[in-house]
Amino acid sequence: MSYLLRRIVFYVFTAWAAITINFFLPRLMPGDPVQALIAKEQGQLSTDAVHSLYVLFGLDKQQPLWQQYVDYWGQLLHGDLGLSFTFFPTPVSEVISSSLPWTLILVGVTTVCSFMLGTGLGVLAGWRRGSWVDLVLPVTTFISSVPYFWFGLIMIELLAGPNSFFPSSGGYDPGVVPGWDIDFIGSAVQHSLLPALTILISSMSGWILSMRNMMVTVSSEDYITVAHAKGLSDRRVMLSYAARNALLPNVSGFALSLGLIVGGTLLVEIVFSFPGVGFQLFQAVGAKDYPLMQGIFLIITLSVLAANFIADLAYLVLDPRTRKEG
């Protein structure tokens, strides 16, 4: 149990760190950032936007920093992330909550699929090494070096078109009213296929490579030889002896990869104009909508922390050593 407790403490600490970074980032800017921004935009900012900037940078009232920090936490616990000024006067939390489900479903489904498929293919590639399966290596190396968004562009160029089944942009048909009915869900799934495929192929190669290398490392262990000598079937040795042990580093490597995959997904959304958090971040960056940008950063970070926690739970089930300690 102590393993689980340690992880929970760690995630609470990390969430605190992320929130604190989010608080201090705009306040660490040298000079008067709002004036700099107004000058940069050459008077194209509305007075509302200017005001919400002053609030964000903590320049609206003469309070000591710790007082601002306490207030910030108070607002945050009420779900108040400030006002977005691209969608003024909609609160940031409302803007994000409209786009978050799109991203969560897209990332969730594709990440789980790519982890399972990639790990499975990696097991085969590592076990059957030296045969034609080794051809997988150069191909996956190349694919994993391609930026997600560029791969998305190529997918659109090749697969989407005026007469194609795959739509090239948007989250659903303009003619469909969002709601829980067959028409809308069908249309949403159709629009998600191409972005999902892009993320799947791009992110899968990383899992294949790392799983293959772990399989190769594990398969020269003595206990594999013993398992063979016992006369167990090749399949059983591969799955229950080699893959089971090779899987552990892959699961714990989830933490690093998840951040990368989420980053890549944001970009794929931009390319496909998918109505998720990434596309919104893109719009916010274009409009210099700092409250929205910071809110999105916070939400993404918290989601990644939650996903990591789930990965930790999986690790707890897979590796008996973590359970023994306590």
Partner 1 sequence: MAISTVDLQAAAGAAAPTPKPARRQKFRFITNTKTLIGLIILGFYVLLAIFGPMIAPYDPDARGDVLQSPPTSAHWFGTTHLGQDIFSQVLAGARGVVYVGLLAGLVATALAVIIGVSSGYLANTGGEALSALSNVFLVIPALPLIIIVASILPTVSNTIIGLVIGLTSWAWGARVLRAQTLSLRGRDYVDAAKATGESTWRIIFFELLPNLTAVIASGFVGTVIFAVLSEITLAFIGVADPTVWNWGTILFWAQSQQALAQGAWWWFVPAGLAIAVLGTALSLINFGIDEIVNPRLRNAGRIKGKSVRMRIGFTPVLGKENR
- Applying CB under 8 A, the residues found at the interface with partner 1 are 10-11, 13-14, 17-18, 21, 25-26, 29-31, 33, 36, 40, 129-131, 134, 141-142, 144-147, 149-150, 153-154, 156-157, 168, 213, 216-217, 219-220, 225, 228-229, 231, 255-256, 258-260, 262-263, 266-267, 270-271, 281-282, 285-286, 288, 290, 293-294, 296-297, 300-301, 304-305, 308
When the beta carbons of 25 and 113 are compared against partner 1, the nearer one is 25
Task: Provide DSSP, 219-288.
Answer: TTSHHHHHHHHTT--HHHIIIIIIIHHHHHHHHHTHHHHHHHHHHHHHHHHHHHT-SSHHHHHHHHHHHT
Q: How far is CA 305 from the centre of its chain?
A: 10
* Minimum distance from residue 182 beta carbon to partner 1 (Å): 30
Say which residues have a Cβ less than 8 Å from residue 55's Cβ, sequence separation at least 6.
82, 83
* Minimum distance from residue 196 beta carbon to partner 1 (Å): 19
When the beta carbons of 54 and 184 are compared against partner 1, the nearer one is 54
* Minimum distance from residue 78 beta carbon to partner 1 (Å): 23
When the beta carbons of 163 and 220 are compared against partner 1, the nearer one is 220
| DSSP alpha helix (H) spans, the chain | 2-27, 33-41, 47-56, 65-77, 92-127, 136-145, 148-159, 182-218, 222-229, 234-236, 244-252, 254-272, 277-287, 290-318, 320-324
When the beta carbons of 162 and 179 are compared against partner 1, the nearer one is 162
Phi/psi of residue 14, each to 5°? -65, -40
* Minimum distance from residue 178 beta carbon to partner 1 (Å): 25
Q: CA triplet 277, 268, 275: central angle to 5 degrees?
A: 35
Say which residues have a Cβ less than 8 Å from residue 49's Cβ, sequence separation at least 6.
85, 88
Closest CA to 246 of 299, 208, 294: 208
When the beta carbons of 185 and 197 are compared against partner 1, the nearer one is 197
* Minimum distance from residue 256 beta carbon to partner 1 (Å): 6
* Minimum distance from residue 140 beta carbon to partner 1 (Å): 10
When the beta carbons of 186 and 226 are compared against partner 1, the nearer one is 226
Provide the residue type at 147 as one letter.
P
When the beta carbons of 144 and 185 are compared against partner 1, the nearer one is 144
When the beta carbons of 196 and 262 are compared against partner 1, the nearer one is 262
When the beta carbons of 55 and 146 are compared against partner 1, the nearer one is 146
Q: What does the alpha-carbon distance between residue 2 and residue 100 come to, in Å, rounded to a whole number?
A: 33
- For the chain, what's the residue count? 326
* Minimum distance from residue 55 beta carbon to partner 1 (Å): 15
Q: What does the alpha-carbon distance between residue 80 and residue 92 come to, in Å, rounded to a whole number?
A: 8
* Minimum distance from residue 17 beta carbon to partner 1 (Å): 5
* Minimum distance from residue 239 beta carbon to partner 1 (Å): 16
The answer to whether 34 and 57 are in contact (CB under 8 A) is yes
